[in-house]
Amino acid sequence: MFKALLLTKTDQPAPHCAITELDEAKLPEGDVLVQVAYSTLNYKDSLAITGKSPVVRTWPMVPGIDFAGTVLESSDGRYKKGDAVLLNGWGVGERHWGGFAQKARVKADWLVPLPAGLSAEQTMAIGTAGYTAMLCVMRLQDQGVTPDGGPVLVTGANGGVGSIAIALLSRLGFTVHASTGRMNEAAHLKALGASELIDRAELNAAGRPLQKERWAAAVDSVGSHTLANVCASVRYGGVVAACGLAQGMDFPATVAPFILRGVTLAGVDSVMAPYERRMQAWKRLAQELPADVLAGNTAKIGLSGVADMAARQLSGHVRGRVVIDVNA
């Protein structure tokens, strides 16, 4: 038996959410059984737990789109008992039982070895949000964005993706501007590496198709009008890495920035990212994200704190990252 957070469908949008003792035999099929040490609360997990979006596709569901732990059993040659592993995405916590549990059984293809230099807890302090932030940084760099090109904007600055993107970009030598609705967190955002703060109210309402050219590039986890205004404000030839929808899934924009300024809108998906790309992102995270910055950006809770924290996250009251100690 093992402990898990279990979501059960109800006739309301919000599922029933309870810590439950589950039998290992009930775990879904997979090649590798993992003793989970830590998971983390991602935006998508909060949507699943609150039922605000139809993230969960099969019921009942153990949420948790990522986890880190140790292999207990493996029928796949790539992993053996005792190996330290982590997982992000692949529909885990949506279609396949996820990381808010002491055990998980998954496909070997979905795992990556724990990167050298990071503990299981540190990988989950980064979590899918931080790994996505690195994928965004890599996307900008793939498009030739360099620190001497001008400032880079990060939206959703206090969030998981935003906070780690600020830390990564500033350590690469970029001048980072941070857009936030929480100007009272200025000290934290500056400690992460932001040099200038922008009130997100400047960006989150309908704006003109082309605006003053302000940034060389941007990492956007907010979507909607914010993404449209960011595209309209990026300099000629600039690049916007778009990964999120914290403001909304809509994109009320015009083609003007793309056809008149040659702006590139670069989409970033972490869920289905190929193995080599994941390995590259995690290797870089281990090397480029200082441990003290990570620690200062992370809170830790047990499974019993997840439901409350999910509601707090969706109302914009969580700063940085939340690690879940599934054994607490």
Binding site for ligand NDP (CB under 6 A): 42-44, 128-129, 132, 156-162, 180-182, 200, 204, 221-222, 226, 243-247, 268-271, 313, 316, 318
Q: Considering beta carbons, is residue 102 or 170 the nearer one to ligand NDP?
A: 170
The least CB distance from residue 26 to ligand NDP, in Å, is 28
Q: Considering beta carbons, is residue 55 or 303 the nearer one to ligand NDP?
A: 55
Neighbours of 191 (CB within 10 A): 15
Contacts of 97 (CB under 8 A, 6+ apart): 4, 27, 28, 61, 62, 104, 105
The least CB distance from residue 192 to ligand NDP, in Å, is 11
Instruction: Please write down the HEC assignment for all residues of 199-217.
Output: EHHHCCCCCCCCCCCCEEE
3-state percent breakdown (helix, strand, coil) of the chain, nearest 5 = 35, 30, 40
Residue nearest to ligand NDP (CB): 159
The least CB distance from residue 308 to ligand NDP, in Å, is 14
The least CB distance from residue 316 to ligand NDP, in Å, is 4
The least CB distance from residue 272 to ligand NDP, in Å, is 9
Q: Considering beta carbons, is residue 18 or 201 the nearer one to ligand NDP?
A: 201
Q: Considering beta carbons, is residue 113 or 316 the nearer one to ligand NDP?
A: 316
5, two tokens: 């957070």
- In 77-180, the DSSP E strands lie at 84-88, 103-106, 111-113, 152-154, 176-180
The least CB distance from residue 152 to ligand NDP, in Å, is 16
β-partners of residue 36 are: 69
Q: Considering beta carbons, is residue 182 or 190 the nearer one to ligand NDP?
A: 182
Q: Considering beta carbons, is residue 44 or 235 the nearer one to ligand NDP?
A: 44
Q: Could you tell me if 98 and 121 are in contact, meaning their C-beta atoms sit under 8 angstroms apart?
A: no
Q: Give the C-alpha separation, 318 to 72, whole Å.
A: 33
